[in-house]
Amino acid sequence: MAAQARLAFEGLKRTLAAAGASLADVVELTTFHIDLRGEMQQFAKVKDKYLSRNYPAWTAVGVTQLVLSELRVEIRAIAVAGSSKD
């Protein structure tokens, strides 16, 4: 779980950078989990390393399956480029 969460956040980080934004610009986060209760603690530790400043609004959703059977988590984020600047 932790490895997949890191990969997901790294992918999000690259995507945001390509759009001129950063993880600090994320204003809303939705995560989808195969084992929501069982893996939430592991996921939250990883999330806290990537989103540590001002947390965005976050919704975690338990699902029965994701597009690929080996996936444990999927991340959806909304960011406003430049919103993290004072």
pLDDT tens-digit profile of 11-24?
999 999 999 999 99
Amino acid 53: pLDDT: 66
- Which range of residues forms the domain containing residue 41? 2-79
Domain of residue 32, CATH code:
3.30.1330.40
Q: Is residue 52 pLDDT above 90, yes or no? A: no
Share of the chain above pLDDT 90, in %: 90
Sign of CA dihedral 61, 66, 72, 73: negative
Structural domain includes residue 85: no
Structural domain includes residue 86: no
Structural domain includes residue 45: yes
Share of the chain above pLDDT 70, in %: 97
Q: How many folded domains does the chain comprise? A: 1
State the pLDDT confidence band at 51, using cuts at 50, 70 and 90: very high
Structural domain includes residue 84: no
State the pLDDT confidence band at 83, using cuts at 50, 70 and 90: confident
